[in-house]
């Protein structure tokens, strides 16, 4: 069986994980999180590719490039979650599965974080599980791909 291709997209400021607000996001770096995700992906027969960008345009371009070539997208848009309608529109045109992820629990934080423009075009959202967030997302993606 061929490996499924899944793109992991990391939005604005996620390159600062491990340095930025460790009391909220923990001490793990983005590479640490991706390493755990890759371990899970290997067990599930999924090939992960990663794109991190601090601008929405680069993320939109990555989503568009994934059309017809990737079976899924796992996206942590960071603050773009709350206002980047360009990401919403690009994801709505993607023909595979979409899982939105957040290391923290947006609903337990400031009111402006409670609205996601990504959630309406995602198959599911995984948030608030810290170090386990990305492995859970990969496992969820594997389940979606099997059905």
Cite the active site residues.
25, 102
Distance of CA 129 to the CA centre of its chain: 13
Residue 114 has a CB neighbour count (10 Å cut-off) of: 11
E-only strand ranges, the chain? 4-10, 46-52, 72-76, 97-102, 124-127
What 3-state DSSP class applies to 80?
helix
Contact yes or no for 41/70 (Cβ under 8 A): no
């Amino acid at each position: 069986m061929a490996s499924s291709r899944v793109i992991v997209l990391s939005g604005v400021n996620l390159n600062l994980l491990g340095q930025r607000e460790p009391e909220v996001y923990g001490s793990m770096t983005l590479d640490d999180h991706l390493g755990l995700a890759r371990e899970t992906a290997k067990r599930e027969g999924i090939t992960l590719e990663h794109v991190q960008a601090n601008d929405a345009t680069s993320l939109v371009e990555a989503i568009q490039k994934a059309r017809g070539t990737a079976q899924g997208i796992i996206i942590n848009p960071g603050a773009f979650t709350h206002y980047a309608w360009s990401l919403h529109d690009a994801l709505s045109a993607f023909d595979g599965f979409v899982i939105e992820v957040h290391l923290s629990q947006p609903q337990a934080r400031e009111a402006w974080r409670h609205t996601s423009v990504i959630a309406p075009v995602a198959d599911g959202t995984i948030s608030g599980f810290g170090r386990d967030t990305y492995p859970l997302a990969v496992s969820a993606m594997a389940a979606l791909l099997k059905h």
